[in-house]
Chain A
């Protein structure tokens, strides 16, 4: 079973920031928060990951609460190409057997 809870869907206006929440209240001390996305009919794409500090890369920012029980993925300027299903996954660094939940279907509208 997936260890995370995400809203099933979210709409976002093009050019605006998209904030995707994820709850992972049972996360263990050695588990990281990973985000992937899957554009329709393609394989998942890695976005970002973090342990407890906030992280930023060219695709997104990841904000993790101090108690690590929840996090938010931020797409700073959403484009139509960001329309996808976004998956929040918790895993240990050496665990590559990913357990996917239902994810959040993000629709970016012009």
Chain B
């Protein structure tokens, strides 16, 4: 199946700093990618839809100025958590639409811990 890769797999940062998470589609071009957040013992919650060459679409309640999304190429979307705080600590997961099929493929996730 198609491969979606996230980097880094885990990151620890200090409160107030910014962290960038990359999501790459390795063997296909993805015009649309999706970012999810998962808190411990909870399910995945969609944060935003990342569109290549245009602005991201954010779900209700997600601050677009805090979670900056850039989809500058057909194989890369980035999520930047700005001015991170401990409550932003979570598991962040991206997915990409397989253009030749109907499945969505997921990255392995990034564990963010803000101290």
Report A's interface with B, CB cutoff 8 A: 32, 34, 36, 38, 41-46, 49, 87, 93, 96-103
Q: How far is the CB of B72 from chain A (nearest CB, A)?
A: 20
**Contact present for A100 and B95 (CB under 8 Å):** no
**Contact present for B109 and A96 (CB under 8 Å):** no
> How far apart are the CA atoms of A23 and B103 in the complex, in Å?
21
Q: How far is the CB of B91 from chain A (nearest CB, A)?
A: 7
Instruction: Determine the chain A residues whose CB is within 8 A of the CB of B93 once the complex forms.
Output: 43-44
Q: How far is the CB of B28 from chain A (nearest CB, A)?
A: 14
Q: Which residue on A lies nearest to B42, using beta carbons?
A: A102
**Contact present for B43 and A102 (CB under 8 Å):** yes
B102 partner, pick from A45, A49, A100, beta carbons under 8 A: A49
**Number of B residues contacting the other chain (C-beta, 8 Å)?**
25
Report B's interface with A, CB cutoff 8 A: 1, 4, 6, 32, 34, 36, 43-46, 49, 91, 93-95, 97, 102-109, 111
**Contact present for B1 and A101 (CB under 8 Å):** no
> How far apart are the CA atoms of A103 and B97 in the complex, in Å?
22
**Contact present for B44 and A44 (CB under 8 Å):** yes
**Contact present for A96 and B46 (CB under 8 Å):** no
Q: Which of B1, B94, B103 has the most chain A CB atoms inside 10 A of its CB? A: B103
